[in-house]
Amino acid sequence: MIDCQCPNHNTVELPECIARLNDLAYNLWWVWQADARELFRMWDYPAWRRTRHNPVKMLRSMTQTDIDRLAQNIPFRRKLERVMMRYDAEMQNGGLWFPGVYPEHKRSTIAYFSAEFGLHNSLPIYSGGLGILSGDHCKEASDLGVPLVGVGFMYPQGYFRQRIPAHGWQEAVHEAVDFTDTPILPVMNGNGDRLTVPVRLDTRDVLVRAWCVRVGRVRIFLMDTDFEANAPWDRELTARLYGGDQEMRLQQEVILGIGGLRVLRALGLQPTVWHMNEGHSAFLVLERIRELVQTGMTYEQAHQAAFETSVFTTHTPVPAGHDAFPFNLVERYFWHFWDDMGLDRERFMQLAAHHDGWGNNFNMTVLAMRNSRYINGVSKIHTAVSGKMWQNLWSGQPAPMISITNGIHTPSWVSGEIDRLLDRHLGPDWLQHHDDPALWQRVYDVPDHELWNVKQDLKRKMFSFIWDRARQRWIEGEADATQLLASGTMLDPEALTIGFARRFATYKRATLVFRDLERLKRILLDSNRPVQLIFAGKAHPADEPAKHLIQQVVNLAKDHQLGARIAFVQDYDMNLARYLVQGVDVWLNNPRRPYEASGTSGQKAALNGTLNLSVLDGWWPEAYDGDNGWAIGGRNHRDEGEDQDAPDAESLYQLLEQEVVPLFYQRDADGIPRGWVQAMKESMRTVSPAFSLRRMLKEYTERAYLPAARAAAARPPA
């Protein structure tokens, strides 16, 4: 565990017998501990719901009477004691994978930089897959004992919440995050003052302060600039995730890469390995080289040292998706910098120069790739596509990349119901071995009716959740009856239910299934075998075409001819994602190939017995075996630019008509669809171990972190 200065400043005065609630609330460890979540429900169930599962907020809103009453609740105190005993044992490093297998690297530190972290809803500093992956990475690092520290932003306005008014055009609501309601702690320096570090922006110094989030054994340091010491315009710099113009974005990235490194230094941390999750933090390598040159190395030596210990993960298979800045803008922010690196302007710009079709720009992916020994893509297809996309950096040879396919943090995404079922049939310690494929063979021992009944429970829970949200909107006068209908109030818990929920970006083709409305109508409205579709997802506020797609779906959901068999549930986030991936029968994914770098929501679905119906893109080609779900469009790969929409839609309809619907409704005398349940088991068995974050983090460790740490150890300290 890293020793750092983050005292529990925000904590609430509690009597001794329940004082440790403070420790528990301020460590997101509880998020993936079933007993800790039970404890919070036992504490005050209405408050648990009202605060949207935020124990910090629950703590801070307690009255003296509440506190006294809780202190006298003996069963609660006993349970708290048991949970905290486990907590204390787990915060030690005993028995963990990393220190057990690699004791010689116990003192290594891996610094992990990401612009977003999806840890829990109460900390809205993520927008989608990239953030969820970072959050899951840190949670698994805690479970495995990988010595990792995270670096990111504490955005005062977080990511927006989505409202869909009657006209169906998404509205973005930016709510100020009340920092005292989140599980973050101020980072202090040795004198007991707030720790701040200066970052040079143009002609001025901006001060950056940090917050600490505890994620089990791991700490994440989140930066912001919104405090008195900074000018009003600089206080806005970290206000939002992916907001502002290009210049603001560059300033944010300077803070992330350079400010982030300085925060770690100010805390006395000496990371051995530096992992950049996407190019947003790539300025980090410049600061590392500058530091080394300042100790007396030549530029070449410094570059080599930084290169050998850098890891870079790219996530974007579309050239336009990579951050790039005009040279003159970069010059304004770095004219004082290149001298200290032992470079002149020309050589400095060449570090990241990339011709994007219009001209040369300073490209963050190029900067990261040229300065990292370990570069990886996030699925096999994505790695191949990226390697080709960047081949001009390696004189026409594919970029030297490794492929590490994304996974999910199993304890965070498994439902309580499936967890308990697997406890009974895989063994009570199944979570400790969840990346072992042999263990999952035993999923075939689960009696069909048990698995099927659990799935029905999960489905009912999802509908209650959707209806509850609709009721809330109704009470608040936010929606009329048609809008409520479109948000799912008339959905049928017995019908085959297909979910499509993800960021709305055009390449994901949310409206593909509507291509032939008459045909879809026949599928949905079959009175013996009805089918329904649930959609959710946010469009980036600047993405007009994506907002148009949302509007289309919302309008179709209101169309009486489609029989209220379509719903759009607003404000997709981690919590809604949990209910949907667990509750629906089929998870639909139909991006244009090869634009889905990996995707992980289908992995969450499979873990919970939901079947994937997906285009063979991202992670799915590595998992699909013919019996564990369906492949839209088959294996024949069409090239970019060719019309994929018509054939993929045709394939989707055929699969629904001939395979998915018949299999679901083919029931035996007990009302159980044996073939379907068989596929659920096959899907759980094949997907869960291989697409876990545990398998993924072990790969990062063995293929990147350890070789990089060895390179660092082999080098005399500068």
Ligand X SMILES: *Cc1c(COP(=O)(O)O)cnc(C)c1O
Query: Residue numbers of the site for ligand X (CB under 6 A)?
Result: 128-129, 132, 502, 572-574, 577, 599-601, 604
Sign of CA dihedral 147, 573, 628, 382: negative
Cα–Cα nearest to 214, from 295, 149, 274: 149
Q: Which is nearer to ligand X, 499 or 633 (by Cβ)?
A: 499
Nearer to ligand X, 376 or 412 (CB): 412
CB of 462 to ligand X, least distance (A): 14
What does the alpha-carbon distance between residue 379 and residue 406 come to, in Å, rounded to a whole number?
Answer: 7
CB nearer to ligand X: pick between 252 and 614: 614
What the block records as the tokens of 473 is 């909107």
Query: Rounded CA gap, 647 and 639, in Å?
Result: 13
Of residues 108 and 608, the one with the C-beta less far from ligand X? 608
**How far out from the chain centre does Cα 552 lie?**
27
Asked if residues 135 and 517 have their Cβ atoms less than 8 Å apart, the reply is: no
Q: Which is nearer to ligand X, 303 or 604 (CB)?
A: 604
Q: Are 448 and 677 in contact (CB under 8 A)?
A: yes
Residue 657 has which token pair? 């008509």
Among residues 198, 344, 343, the alpha carbon closest in space to that of 259 is found at 198
Nearest approach, Cβ of residue 599 and ligand X (Å)? 4
Question: Dihedral of CA 97/103/105/107: which sign?
Answer: positive
CB of 162 to ligand X, least distance (A): 12
State in angstroms the smallest separation of the CB of 267 from ligand X.
30
Residue 287 or 617: which CB sits closer to ligand X?
Answer: 617
Comparison of 172 and 711: residue with beta carbon closer to ligand X: 172
DSSP assignment string, 318-337: SGGGS-EE-HHHHHHHHTTT
Residue 298 Cβ vs ligand X, minimum distance, rounded to whole Å: 43
Alpha carbon of residue 145 to chain centroid:
20
Least distance from ligand X to the Cβ atom of residue 577, Å:
3
Q: Which three-class secondary structure string do you get for 290-321?
A: HHHHHCCCCHHHHHHHHHHCEEEECCCCCHHH
Given CA atoms 120, 124, 129, 135 in this order, what sign does their dihedral have?
Answer: negative
Shortest Å, Cβ 128 to ligand X: 4
Neighbouring C-beta atoms of residue 175, cutoff 10 Å: 11
User: Given the complex with ligand X, which of 305 and 510 has the nearer CB atom?
Assistant: 510
Question: Which CB, 505 or 679, lies closer to ligand X?
Answer: 505
Q: What single letter denotes the amino acid at residue 178?
A: D
Name which of 182 and 272 has its Cβ closer to ligand X. 182
Q: In angstroms, what is the minimal distance from the CB of 412 to ligand X?
A: 10
Residues contacting 465, CB < 8 A, separation 6+: 576, 579, 583
Give bridge partners of residue 204 from the DSSP assignment.
201
Going by C-alpha positions, the residue among 320, 372, 378, 381 that lies closest to residue 351 is 372
Give the tokens for residue 526: 């079959």
Q: Largest alpha-carbon pair distance within the chain?
A: 80
Phi, psi of 254 (to 5 degrees): -65, -45
The answer to whether 466 touches 491, Cβ cutoff 8 Å, is yes
CB of 204 to ligand X, least distance (A): 36
Judged by beta carbon, residue 387 or residue 537, the one nearer ligand X is 537
Nearer to ligand X, 133 or 431 (CB): 133
What is the C-alpha to C-alpha distance for residues 406 and 572, in angstroms, rounded to an integer?
Answer: 21
CA–CA separation, 98 and 104 (whole Å): 10
Question: CA angle 421-83-684, nearest 5°?
Answer: 25
Q: Which is nearer to ligand X, 473 or 502 (CB)?
A: 502
* Tokens matching residue 446: 């689960």
CB of 603 to ligand X, least distance (A): 8
3-state secondary structure (DSSP) of residue 216: coil
Contact 284, 351 (CB under 8 A): no
Strand order in 611-615's β-sheet?
Answer: 566-568, 531-536, 496-501, 586-589, 611-615, 629-632
CB of 406 to ligand X, least distance (A): 9
Nearer to ligand X, 541 or 599 (CB): 599
Question: Which residue, 128 or 488, has its beta carbon nearer to ligand X?
Answer: 128
Cβ at position 589, least distance to ligand X in Å: 7
CA pair distance 375, 308, nearest whole angstrom: 11
Q: How far is the CB of 304 from ligand X (least distance, A)?
A: 36
* Rounded alpha-carbon distances, angstroms, from residue 372 to 375, 388, 708: 6, 18, 10
What is the closest distance, in whole angstroms, from the C-beta atom of residue 96 to ligand X in the complex? Answer: 26
**Considering beta carbons, is residue 132 or 146 the nearer one to ligand X?**
132
Rg (CA), the chain: 25
Q: Which is nearer to ligand X, 403 or 590 (CB)?
A: 590
CB 484 within 8 A of CB 473: yes
Minimum separation from the CB atom of position 102 to ligand X (A)? 30
CB of 538 to ligand X, least distance (A): 9
Q: How far apart are CA 533 and CA 568, in angstroms?
A: 9
Min CB(648)–ligand X separation in Å: 17
Q: How far apart are CA 16 and CA 27, in angstroms?
A: 19
